Amino acid sequence: MLFTSLSFAGLTARNRVVMPPMASVFPEVPDGEGSKKEGVPSQATIAYYKDRAGRGPGIIIVEHTYVTLRGKAHEGQLGLDNDAAIPAFRELATGIRSQGAVAILQLSHVGAKGNPDVTGGEPLGPTETPPPRSERVPTPMTEEQIEEVQRFFAAAAQRAQQAGFDGVEIHSAHGYLLSQFLSPLTNHRKDKYGGSVENRARFLLETVAAIKSRTGDQYPVFVRLGSTDGIEGGLTYKDAAETAKMLEDAGVAVIDVSGNYASARPAKAEPGYFVPAAAEIKKAVKIPVLVTGGITTGAFAEQILQEGKADLIGVGRAMLRDPDWVTHAKQELNP
């Protein structure tokens, strides 16, 4: 199954292997005029993704890209908060698509985990609760600020569409802003954005709607969904499955399963550590489910697909270690 194509939401992935979003190693390489502009992909970044696309994955989800400076996570991060960045992102998308891979751009807002030295402002969050492993008290967002961030996501998605990306992915995992709202550990709001799963997912669902109102209903929107906090009293698979169902009803194309405060790479985790979460979510939805995390061999990827626990397989660090992972997995499965 790993090397069969998958058609969904008007796209066709040539196989089930996905290069998940991974902040790349050379965002800051100076390579000519314009390359050092904040957030703009450098020629090195563009060449890197084109090269990776040529090595065979079905889908590339380009690393997290801020939608507003206030949501920037770290220096050197890509950003699509203004129209001037569109031409370089167009080169990035064209390079990936020219090699036969589907090109998706991940859009993010760091929220309460933001560093004022990077964002230029106080960290924003659902309530005055610092995220786990952080001491910074965020400023609770007003409804106006929530709507403003939704407009930033929508505008960035429209720019990604203009740049030729096949779709966008909303980052709602790893303790970033939208997953801070999903998690009962950090969201103690008493208004319509806090309390029930439906309320905690409202910011995310409204963001999907805001994007679709700018890009048109048919434009594919993936959601990277934090499926578990791994902490007592935190997000559960049940919450994640309910949220996934609401996202499907809102027209989302793919649920990309990862961790929330459990992080994307929990210490001492077994291979395929989010496969049980993906299997639960898959029971709740019909749209494709992507799972990433500790999957390193073709045989294991194939087994997850055969067992019906996911439809797409993300291979992150193993693909960083072996850029020709796809070729080697093919050889492994068809000796």
Indicate whether 63 belongs to the interface with ligand FMN (CB under 6 A). Answer: yes
Indicate whether 21 belongs to the interface with ligand FMN (CB under 6 A). Answer: yes
Contact indicator for 293, 328 with CB cutoff of 8 Å = no
Nearer to ligand FMN by C-beta: 13 or 140? 13
Nearer to ligand FMN by C-beta: 59 or 264? 264
Indicate whether 64 belongs to the interface with ligand FMN (CB under 6 A). Answer: yes
Indicate whether 316 belongs to the interface with ligand FMN (CB under 6 A). Answer: yes
Minimum separation from the CB atom of position 57 to ligand FMN (A): 12
Candidates 53, 315, 326, 329; binder of ligand FMN (CB under 6 A) is 315
Q: Give CA–CA dist 70/212, Å, rounded.
A: 23
Indicate whether 257 belongs to the interface with ligand FMN (CB under 6 A). Answer: no
Contact indicator for 332, 36 with CB cutoff of 8 Å = no
Nearest to 289 by CA among 277, 300, 306: 277
Q: Give CA–CA dist 179/201, Å, rounded.
A: 9
Q: What tokens appear for 319 in the block?
A: 């693909």
Indicate whether 224 belongs to the interface with ligand FMN (CB under 6 A). Answer: yes
Binders of ligand FMN among 133-192, rule CB under 6 A?
171, 173-174
> Does the annotation count 48 as an active-site position?
no
Nearest to 177 by CA among 107, 280, 277: 107
Closest-by-Cβ residue to ligand FMN is 316
Nearer to ligand FMN by C-beta: 140 or 314? 314
Angstrom CA distances, 53 to 48, 177, 183, stand at: 9, 29, 34
Indicate whether 289 belongs to the interface with ligand FMN (CB under 6 A). Answer: no
Residue with tokens 């380009």: 62
Contact indicator for 109, 177 with CB cutoff of 8 Å = yes
Binders of ligand FMN among 77-106, rule CB under 6 A?
106
Residue with tokens 């690393």: 63
Select the span of 17-25, 33-41, 47-55, 193-201 touching ligand FMN (CB under 6 A).
17-25
Q: Give CA–CA dist 68/173, Å, rounded.
A: 18
Minimum separation from the CB atom of position 143 to ligand FMN (A): 27
Q: Give CA–CA dist 323/302, Å, rounded.
A: 19
Q: Active-site residues: which are they? A: 176
Which residues contribute to the site for ligand FMN (CB under 6 A)? 20-23, 63-64, 106, 171, 173-174, 224, 258, 264-265, 292-295, 314-318
